[in-house]
Structure 1
Amino acid sequence: MKKSLALKEHSTSLSIMLRVIDCLGLLSAGLLSYWLRFSSLSLDLTYKNVLLLGVLLGAASLSFFGAYRAWRGASFTSEIRCVLSATLTTFLLLIISGFITQSSDLFSRIWVVSWLCTSTATILSYRFLLRKSLGALRAKGFNIRSVIIIGDGELAQQVLERLKQHPEMGLVVKGILSTQDQTTDKHEINSVPFLGTLNDLDKIVKNHKIDQVWIALPMSEVQKMEQVQSALSNTSIVIRMVPDIFGFRLLNQSVTEVAGLPVINISTSHMLEGKNRFLKLIEDKILALLILILISPILISLAIIIKLTSKGPILFKQYRTGANGQDFKVYKFRSMVVHNEEDGKVTQATKGDSRITPIGAFMRRTSLDELPQFINVLQGRMSIVGPRPHALAHNEHYKTLVESYMRRHMVKPGITGWAQVNGFRGETDTIDKMENRVEYDLYYIENWSVWFDLRIIFLTIFKGFIHKNAV
């Protein structure tokens, strides 16, 4: 037990040490990049100031993006995203400050880019080594937490299986406690023994030197939860409750605090959080403006061709459902002849549809008809990446047929999306096709990150514009 305590007692010191190492990593990466660029380490005052500012901004950005939280149990992929977000933010702030102070011409762009790459690689490298080292130490009994699970049902078994599947977390389950008075017929679950009943809790945690007690009981067992809290009120043991929500379709479940009340988020998205909402907004505005400037010759050319080849307006406007169920007008290049739908119904376009004009068919195959939607992005009604907006009539039709269909509208709809780059676009003439599209949309909402957006945009460029399913 002493070797387990050795690292436990110094967890705060480890966090401070990691902050110091990160600062040294940023500093050394900057010096290394300077030496690679100029074959010298004689920095003038300008470079020294930029180097100091970069280290300070880097430390603040790493802290802001949660680089110093407890990573026990989290994947290395999530840590990579955290570090990449912090380093890119750092150098974006450096560049902005250079433009504001009109000093960007005083230092080398090659050095800045090299510093970005080197610092990111350096920080990720030693964090990977640290993760591996801690994993090896935990395997030998260092830095572990002794856990008992309180519960008799399926939930307790699920908790046990999850913890055993992730030994790198360093959480060792010593036993299970039953809430029933008699345990004569209980021996063990998955080689983990029953240690007794809830009445023996105080004695068991002392005898087995338990660090954490995990409560895996139904929500109705409030009195027994209170009994656990009362029995351990005079100890420093960590008490965790696992809510029985495994049966729910969850989207980024988490625990937060609202008005001083603990709240379990059963359905939410990372991009709805404060800083992520801001990052998404900046991403959309900047990219949409740049793209509109770049594609303006294409927009003008298509507008002229549409006007010359068929009667009617250049743009087609149709109400779609946006974030939080709010309707808005989406813009597209008109690809059909002007016509009226019977009884206000929306008839989905099909292959060989006679209503589609020749230029309209080409625009639909290449997704060029959707380019005006970058205006919707600038208006704040859409995002570049997100679930594709469907016609209002389609929403009414599918919301009762496809499970969790309306959860697509938790976020702004997008010009492109995870479903589209995976081939689920065009006509949805069967329930299965729509279910697949919704499944990919919900995966995107649950796993959103700036890097995921950039990946989807990259895939859209190479395989998202032209697809066999487009009509």
Structure 2
Amino acid sequence: MDTANFRPQIGAISGLQSPIARLLDVMLVVSGALAAAQVRFGDLAQNRIDSAFVTFAAAFTLVLFPVLGVYGSWRGRAMLRLVGQVSFAWLIVQGSGLVLMFSLHRTDYVSRLWFAYWTALSGGALIVSRVAVRIVLERVRHAGLNLRRVAVVGCGAHCQQVVRNIESASASGFRAVVAFDLRPVMGIVGSGVPVFDDVNKFAAYVRSQGVQELWLALPLSEEQVISRFVSEFRDDLVNVRFVPDMRSVALFDSDVIDLIGMPAINLVASPVPARALLKKEIFDRAFAALALIALAPLLITIAAAVKLSSRGPVFFTQKRKGADGRIFRIYKFRSMRAHAVESGVIKQATKGDPRITRVGAFLRRTSLDELPQFFNVLCGHMSVVGPRPHALEHDELYQKVVNGYIHRYRIKPGITGWAQINGFRGETDQIEKMQGRVEHDLYYLRNWSFGLDMRIVVATIAKGFVHSNAY
């Protein structure tokens, strides 16, 4: 039985695992460098392109892309995840090239503008090439080609749901052709999908129709049934996948992990695997460092404005919870006048709050008061994207009255997040507002990808700086 992955991520997108695909990627990297030189210098004969840098990038592409999963199977997986995976891999390749060039003392020969153009052009080409292949394959699959035939074994409503999911995702490359319902309920399993309740007849039909996939959509309690079907098809060239029905026990989408050499299922644990967290950590530190360098003049200007607007320190600090509940001090530009604070009581800013200075009102409205949190990201306390942290007193209150609140701290809090770009920012004067924010935060945890982080960053830049609920 194949339990390496619960999700039906099998098969291969045509061409992406072949040597031709790897050669194409190298060609796109080199072509992007030449195109960037043409844009930057105008005349290729007079350019300052560094051939050693391009060679290093091509070599790193050949080595790192397979390691980072770029050439793995993407059948049945979201387009956004594919884009995020390719983007992350390309940024790692360019980062590795820069480190190597720096160690060889050759960075003085590299045009920064050419490097930026090259990164954008080759990255875009790598993404577009895969999106194009994906679109072609989707059309081919809509036409009934390049499909894998699936037999589903399940119980009642869950069995029906799995079949409907397959039918609604026709572009993924799967087609349900037969089902075995352990406990049939009223309703149609799927259009034109025959349903059996006899194991022998079901097995005979699976073999006669050349079925390639057997998905066991069963509860964990059906161990005997699972073993029976695994034994039945042990000697057939059929992939047996376990798609467990754990809606009643699992908080997040469950996954199989290796636990001291044994397969284990996460029921209540961080839904973001350690490998993904490492990628996020690398991106966070690099992004924060670049942001602080680029925003240095703006930070100095704001600091001076805050200092001149009223008496008190430039920065406001407050204790917040980070990943796994660890306490850290968050940094913000001070937006309020110095005032006495009652111990253990945190009063949120409200519309027309007299404590807020004129400069502070502008900073809060535009979210510029949050910029010092890039120092928190650089120190490892926060992420660029994640659930927004709240005051400790608010944590104690909302943890008791908002479902799932504590699970926001399964990962590091962020400067911006899915809830914020969807309108849940500013004052939470009603429990319903906080419940909505938490629901968006949990959605982010369940669906995290590098591509989703990029989408949130872009949305924050595009529309997130000014909001009517921020005061």
By how many angstroms is 1:292 displaced?
A: 6.5
1:187 and 1:282 map into 2 onto residues whose CA distance is 52
| Distance in 2, Cα, partners of 1:114 & 1:359 | 37
Q: Which residue of 1 aligns with 2:327?
A: 327
Superimposed CA distance per residue, residues 193-228 of structure 1 (whole angstroms, 9 cap, x where no aligned partner): 124522445433322222111112222111111111
The equivalences for 1:73-222 within 5 A come to 73-106=76-109, 108-109=111-112, 111-179=114-182, 189-222=190-223
Partner of 2:224: 223
Secondary structure of 2:318's match? strand
Check the 8 A contact 1:195/1:204 in 2, yes or no: no
Structure 1 distance, partners of 2:216, 2:226, is 7
Return closer, same or farther for 1:321/1:68 CA change in 2, 3 Å cut-off: same
Counterparts of residues 16-35 of structure 1 (less than 5 Å): 16-31=19-34
TM-score w.r.t. length of structure 2: 0.82
Farther-moved stretch of structure 1 (390-399 vs 197-206): 197-206
- C-alpha distance in structure 1 between counterparts of 2:359 and 2:187, whole Å: 73
Equivalent pair of 2:385/2:453 in contact (CA under 8 Å): yes
State how far apart, in whole Å, the 2-side matches of 1:347 and 1:70 are.
51
**Partner of 1:60 in structure 2?**
63
Counterpart for residue 379 of structure 1: 379
Instruction: Structure 1 unaligned segments of length 5 or more: list them.
Output: 1-7
| Corresponding pairs, count | 456
- Rg comparison, structure with higher value: 1
Q: Indicate the larger mover: 29-38 or 87-96.
A: 29-38
- Return the structure number with greater relative CO, CA threshold 8 A, min gap 6: 2
**Quick one: distance in 1 between partners of 2:421 and 2:189?**
48
Q: Select 1:297's aligned residue among 296, 300, 304.
A: 300
Residue matched to 2:424: 424
Counterpart amino acid of residue 409 in structure 1: Y
Q: Does 1:243 align with 2:244?
A: yes
Q: Contact 1:83–1:124 at 8 Å: present in 2 too? A: yes
Report how far residue 164 of structure 1 moved: 0.7
- Do the aligned partners of 1:292 and 1:374 also contact (CA within 8 Å) in 2? no
- For 1:75 and 1:345, locate their aligned partners in 2 and report how far apart those are by CA, in whole Å: 44
- Structure 2: how far apart are the matches of 1:376 and 1:348? 22
* Partner-residue secondary structure (3-state), 2:150: strand
Alpha-carbon spacing, 1:315–1:243, altered in 2? closer, same or farther (3 Å): same
Structure 1 counterpart of 2:235: 234
Deviates more, 1:126-135 or 1:143-152: 126-135
Cα distance, 1:460 vs. partner? 4.1
Give the conservation status (yes or no) of the 8 Å contact 2:141–2:173. Answer: yes
Deviation at 1:151?
A: 2.2
Q: Matched residues in 2 for 1:114 and 1:15: separation? A: 28
CA-CA distance at 1:128 after TM superposition: 3.3
User: Alignment identity in percent?
Assistant: 35
Q: Does 1:403 align with 2:403?
A: yes
- Cα 1:396–1:170 shift into 2, 3 Å: same
1:154, CA displacement in angstroms? 0.8
Asked if residue 389 in structure 1 is aligned to residue 392 in structure 2, the reply is no
Deviates more, 1:193-202 or 1:236-245: 193-202
Residue 54 of structure 1, CA deviation: 1.9
Contact kept? 1:31, 1:41, Cα under 8 Å: no
2:13/2:75 contact within 8 Å kept = no
- Structure 1 residues 226, 367: closer, same or farther in 2, change over 3 A? same
CA distance in 2, matches of 1:43, 1:408: 50
Between 416-425 and 244-253, the greater mean CA deviation after superposition:
244-253
Shift of 1:381: 1.9
Distance of aligned partners of 1:120 and 1:373 in 2 relative to their CA distance in 1, 3 Å threshold: closer
Structure 1 residue identity aligned to 2:386: G
* 1:443 maps to 2:446: no
Whether the aligned pair in 1 keeps the contact of 2:426 and 2:469 (CA below 8 Å) is: yes
> Deviation per CA, 1:286-317, whole angstroms, max 9, x where unpaired?
146426733442354145336xx44x655443
Which of 262, 267, 270 is the matching residue for 1:268? 270
Amino acid corresponding to residue 60 of structure 1 in structure 2:
V
Cα pair distance change 1:145/1:379, threshold 3 Å:
closer
Are residue 15 (structure 1) and residue 18 (structure 2) matched? yes
Give unpaired runs (5+ residues) of structure 2.
1-10
Secondary structure class of the residue paired with 2:320? strand
Displacement of 1:57 in angstroms is 1.3
In the alignment, is the contact (CA less than 8 A) between 2:196 and 2:202 conserved in 1?
no
Query: Residues 395, 23 of structure 1: CA spacing in aligned structure 2 closer, same or farther, 3 A cutoff?
Result: same
SS in 1 for 2:137: helix
> Does structure 2 retain, via aligned residues, the 8 Å contact 1:426–1:470?
yes
Residues 435, 156 of structure 1: alpha-carbon distance in 2 compared, 3 angstrom cutoff: same
- Structure 1 residues 357, 206: CA separation in 2 closer, same or farther (over 3 Å shift)? closer
Equivalents in 1 of 2:12, 2:454: separation in Å? 41
Deviation of 1:230 (Å): 1.4
Aligned CA distance change for structure 1 residues 358 and 124 (closer, same or farther; 3 Å): closer
Question: Quick one: structure 1 residues 47 and 211, their matched pair in 2 at CA, closer, same or farther if it must change by over 3 Å?
Answer: same
Change (3 A) 1:196 1:209: farther
SS in structure 2 of the partner of residue 403 of structure 1: coil
Which whole-Å deviations, capped at 9, do the CAs of 1:60-85 have from their partners, x for residues lacking one?
33223321111111233322222222
Aligned counterparts of 1:254 and 1:126: Cα–Cα separation in 2 = 30
Q: CA deviation at 1:336?
A: 3.9
* Cα offset, 1:140, TM superposition: 4.9
Deviation at 1:399, TM superposition (A): 1.6
Structure 1 counterpart of 2:74, from 65, 71, 74 = 71
Given that residues 179 and 198 in structure 1 are in contact (C-alpha distance below 8 angstroms), is that contact kept between their aligned partners in structure 2? no
